[in-house]
Chains A and B, each alone.
Chain A
């Protein structure tokens, strides 16, 4: 198993947000974590990314527990992170972003990322602060890709983007999925989540309460409505 989260308990300043989350993701699999606001999706992602220190539980990458390790340990273990809000480097150019992030030899290089997202090639010499939201999101994905990860973790990639741009981000992620890259995505935009993921997990009150294939979830409108208030 590429990623296994076992009995993860985490929170902030004494308040408990995650109440023993369990999930797993295999090589090449793509999974979306859904849920209403405040159920603990971002805390789950931040715990996996090493930004929140869990009080108990494990985050295993290829069987090695990285639950209390810094984000750099995740990167070395093959996890590419696309954080919420993009967080590009304001004073580095697009090309510098990719060069600084390219660490391992592999399929993804600066050139191949620019072939995947030609807009980044056109903006090669522009600074991160000069890019539109959509371009910054592409850059955040490209920055994670050139580290040649085995697993791409995305926290709300549609956040703050126009619907047309969200569709383009979805195009890229769908194509990445077809390359065999494992994807774990937390997303409020259900269309994007359904396009990208083959399996859906739903969170409520800090726990995973539902797991099914995306097709199964979409077919059962009543359940989707009960779990998410939509459908």
Chain B
């Protein structure tokens, strides 16, 4: 070692591909610009109740809760290479837990959020022990089975209101012992707070050493094992975190809807959440959030105008997106596209 340091080898591997200035990840200027854009977006979102009528504000609340669910799908699908249909199970678990807490324990929004997130985390941890031992298509099927089991369980249980759903959930309150919030704008601000908290935690995760390991597993799990990493633990932590995030999104959903139905943890929702990740750009945070907004707008608003054909229009949009935006909406950012190239959804296989 000392020999090497003293002799200071200069190895130039004769590259003919100079580093493009834009193709650099984690540049300081880019990071600050991203942070600035996020703050501006947050301020604009926060101001919405001041200049929009209650109906679009309620719709935006739904979009934010769904977008957080989509981010949780992206953490597994886009960042860890584990395409999943199981996040709605934890979303529903969080939603039901928050609703039941509201009915039987307290209307305090913070308590409901914590309880819903912890219930989803516990469920994700237990199911994750089995699920993360698989990969690729098998993982997709295992997570679909988790969703179906959770859905059927919610329909069968009296505690969750069976197939009628859980109704009679009181409005949330912010201060301990405070009055329930009645104004749409205040509810929206709570949902925005939960959304911002969830997204911030996700960004911190993907930029941490844990996030590096998740991307390493996506690129090649065997390679990660060959450098001595315990990939099972990394995948289990990622799965549990993503489940918690979906549960957190579920609590935000309950706070604005005050009703939870078994349909909130059904295959249809799981499918559009996964497609939103592909549409938005797997392996980015902002792309799937934008895609989630477009998906909800088409399904609920344009679909209502087009005689309930929202699902059909959504299908066309997804097909067009596959051909026109192979890297998703996030691929429209030239910098990102040049830096990353197509983001693999699943790992490259078992090769070292």
Contacts and interface: CB of A to CB of B under 8 A. Distances in A.
B177 interface: no
A62 to B, nearest CB: 16
B341 A132 contact: no
Interface string A114-126: 0111110011011
B19 A71 contact: no
Contact of A127 (B3, B220, B339): B339
A51 B352 contact: yes
Contacts of A119: 11-13, 15
A72 interface: yes
A23 interface: no
A127 B222 contact: no
B228 A92 contact: no
A72 B225 contact: yes
Given A81-B352, A90-B219, A143-B227, A99 B11 contact: no
Contacts of A122: 19
B218 interface: yes
Interface string A140-161: 0001100100000000000000
A119 B16 CA distance: 13
Given A90-B219, A175-B3, A125 B26 contact: yes
A125 B22 CA distance: 11
B324 interface: no
Contacts of A164: 14
Given A92-B216, A129-B341, A175-B3, A71 B14 contact: no
A125 B227 CA distance: 21
- Size category, B interface: 35 or more
Given A76-B228, A100-B229, A116-B4, A92 B15 contact: no
B337 to A, nearest CB: 12
Interface in A92-137: 92-93, 96, 99-101, 103, 107-108, 112, 115-119, 122-123, 125-135, 137
A70 interface: yes
B226 A49 contact: yes
Contacts of A112: 1, 4-5
Nearest to A132: B15
Contacts of B5: 112, 115
Interface string A171-182: 110011011000
B327 interface: no
Contacts of A129: 340-341
Contact of A137 (B13, B17, B224): B13
A75 B341 contact: no
B334 interface: no
B71 to A, nearest CB: 18
Contacts of A117: 9, 11
A191 to B, nearest CB: 16
B226 A71 contact: yes
Contact of A123 (B4, B19, B224): B19
A165 interface: yes
B209 A116 contact: no
Interface in A166-208: 168-169, 171-172, 175-176, 178-179
Given A90-B341, A125-B27, A175 B225 contact: no
A91 interface: yes
B10 A118 contact: yes
A172 B7 CA distance: 12
B24 interface: yes
A75 B11 CA distance: 26
B283 A91 contact: yes
Contact of B26 (A90, A93, A144): A93
B25 interface: yes
B97 to A, nearest CB: 35
Given A72-B229, A76-B228, A127 B4 contact: no
A50 B222 CA distance: 10
Contact of B215 (A83, A92, A116, A125): A92
A137 B218 CA distance: 21
B197 interface: no
**Which residue, of B10, B13, B19, B226, has the highest number of chain A Cβ atoms within 10 A?**
B13
Interface in B163-208: none
A51 to B, nearest CB: 6
Interface in B328-352: 339-341, 343-344, 351-352
> Which A-B residue pairs are the 3 nearest by beta carbons?
A134-B13, A75-B228, A132-B15
Given A92-B219, A178-B3, 20 more contacts: A50-B226, A72-B230, A83-B226, A89-B216, A89-B219, A90-B341, A93-B25, A100-B209, A100-B229, A103-B228, A119-B11, A125-B25, A127-B340, A132-B15, A132-B16, A134-B13, A138-B11, A138-B13, A172-B11, A179-B1
